Chain A
Amino acid sequence: MVNNTTTVKPHRSNVTRRKIANRIMLTLCMLASVAAVTVLGLVLFFLISKGFSSINVKFFTQLPNHVDEKAGGMSQSIYGTLVLLGLASVIGLPLGILGGIYQLEAKGKFASAVRFFTDVLNGIPSIVIGIFVYAVWVAPIAKLHPGTGYSAFAGGFALGIMMIPTIMRTTEEILKLVPFSMREASLGLGATRWRTMWSVVLPSARGGVITGIMLALARIAGETAPLLFTILGNEFFVTHKVYGIKVPTLTAPIDALPLRIYNYATAVDPEQQRMAWAGAVVLITLILVLSIAARAATRGKVLEEK
Chain B
Amino acid sequence: MTNIASQDKQTPPALSRPVVNASAAATANRPDAKSKIVAKDVDFYYGDFHALKKINIVVPEHQVTALIGPSGCGKSTFLRTLNRMNDLIDGTRLTGSITLDGADIYDRSREVVGLRKQVGMVFQKPNPFPMTIFDNICYGPRIHGIRNRKLLDEVVERTLRGAALWDEVKDKLHKSAFALSGGQQQRLCIARVLAVEPDVILMDEPCSALDPNSTFRIEQLMEDLRGHYTIVIVTHNMQQAARVSQQTGFFLRGELREFDDTSTIFTNPSDEETEAYVSGRFG
A and B touch in the complex (CB under 8 A): yes
Listed in ascending order, the chain A residues whose CB lies under 8 Å from chain B are 107-108, 179, 181-182, 184-192, 195, 199-200, 203-204, 303-306
Asked if B132 is at the interface of the complex by the 8 Å CB criterion, the answer is yes
Asked if B176 is at the interface of the complex by the 8 Å CB criterion, the answer is yes
- The docked-state distance in angstroms from the alpha carbon of A204 to that of B132 is 13
Chain B 54-89 interface 0/1 with A at a Cβ cutoff of 8 Å (1 = within)? 000000000000000000000000000001010010
Would you give the shortest CB distance from B112 to chain A, in whole angstroms?
A: 8
- CB distance B127 to A189 under 8 Å? no
Would you give the shortest CB distance from A294 to chain B, in whole angstroms?
A: 21
- CB distance A189 to B123 under 8 Å? no
> Given A184-B88, A186-B139, A192-B113, are A200 and B123 neighbors across the interface (CB < 8 Å)?
no
- Since A181-B127, A191-B139 are in contact, a sample of 5 more A-B pairs with Cβ atoms closer than 8 Å, ordered by chain A residue number, is A184-B127, A185-B127, A188-B120, A189-B117, A195-B143
Would you give the shortest CB distance from A119 to chain B, in whole angstroms?
A: 22
Would you give the shortest CB distance from A225 to chain B, in whole angstroms?
A: 41
Can you report 16 A-B residue pairs in the complex whose CB atoms are below 8 A from each other?
A: A181-B125, A181-B127, A182-B129, A184-B88, A184-B127, A187-B116, A189-B143, A189-B192, A190-B114, A190-B116, A190-B140, A191-B139, A200-B139, A203-B131, A304-B130, A306-B178
Would you give the shortest CB distance from A99 to chain B, in whole angstroms?
A: 20
- The docked-state distance in angstroms from the alpha carbon of A197 to that of B198 is 23
Would you give the shortest CB distance from A304 to chain B, in whole angstroms?
A: 7
- CB contacts (< 8 Å) of B113 on chain A: these are 190-192
- CB distance A188 to B121 under 8 Å? yes
Would you give the shortest CB distance from B119 to chain A, in whole angstroms?
A: 9
Residue of chain B at shortest CB distance from A181? B127
Residue of chain A at shortest CB distance from B175? A306
- CB contacts (< 8 Å) of A192 on chain B: these are 113, 143
> Given A187-B88, A189-B120, A195-B143, are A204 and B130 neighbors across the interface (CB < 8 Å)?
yes
- CB distance A188 to B123 under 8 Å? yes
Chain B 106-147 interface 0/1 with A at a Cβ cutoff of 8 Å (1 = within)? 000000011111101101010111111000000110011000
- The docked-state distance in angstroms from the alpha carbon of A195 to that of B116 is 14
- CB distance A181 to B123 under 8 Å? yes
**Nearest 3 CB-CB pairings of A with B:** A190-B117, A190-B116, A188-B121
Which residue in B129, B175, B176 is a CB contact (below 8 Å) of A185? B129
Which residue in A179, A203, A304, A306 is a CB contact (below 8 Å) of B132? A306
> Given A107-B90, A305-B130, A305-B178, are A185 and B123 neighbors across the interface (CB < 8 Å)?
yes
- CB distance B189 to A185 under 8 Å? yes
Asked if B151 is at the interface of the complex by the 8 Å CB criterion, the answer is no
- CB contacts (< 8 Å) of B120 on chain A: these are 188-189
Which residue in B90, B132, B143 is a CB contact (below 8 Å) of A190? B143
- The docked-state distance in angstroms from the alpha carbon of A200 to that of B127 is 12
- The docked-state distance in angstroms from the alpha carbon of A192 to that of B85 is 12
- The docked-state distance in angstroms from the alpha carbon of A4 to that of B253 is 62
Residue of chain B at shortest CB distance from A185? B127
- CB contacts (< 8 Å) of B276 on chain A: these are none
> Given A184-B85, A188-B85, A306-B132, are A179 and B117 neighbors across the interface (CB < 8 Å)?
no
- CB distance B129 to A188 under 8 Å? no
- CB distance A199 to B127 under 8 Å? no
- The docked-state distance in angstroms from the alpha carbon of A188 to that of B115 is 9
Asked if B179 is at the interface of the complex by the 8 Å CB criterion, the answer is yes
Residue of chain A at shortest CB distance from B124? A181
Which residue in B90, B116, B130, B176 is a CB contact (below 8 Å) of A189? B116
- The docked-state distance in angstroms from the alpha carbon of A191 to that of B138 is 12
- CB distance A182 to B127 under 8 Å? yes
- CB distance B139 to A189 under 8 Å? yes
Which residue in A182, A190, A204, A305 is a CB contact (below 8 Å) of B176? A305
- CB contacts (< 8 Å) of B132 on chain A: these are 306
- CB distance A186 to B90 under 8 Å? no
- CB distance A189 to B178 under 8 Å? no
Residue of chain B at shortest CB distance from A206? B130
- The docked-state distance in angstroms from the alpha carbon of A305 to that of B113 is 29
Would you give the shortest CB distance from A301 to chain B, in whole angstroms?
A: 11
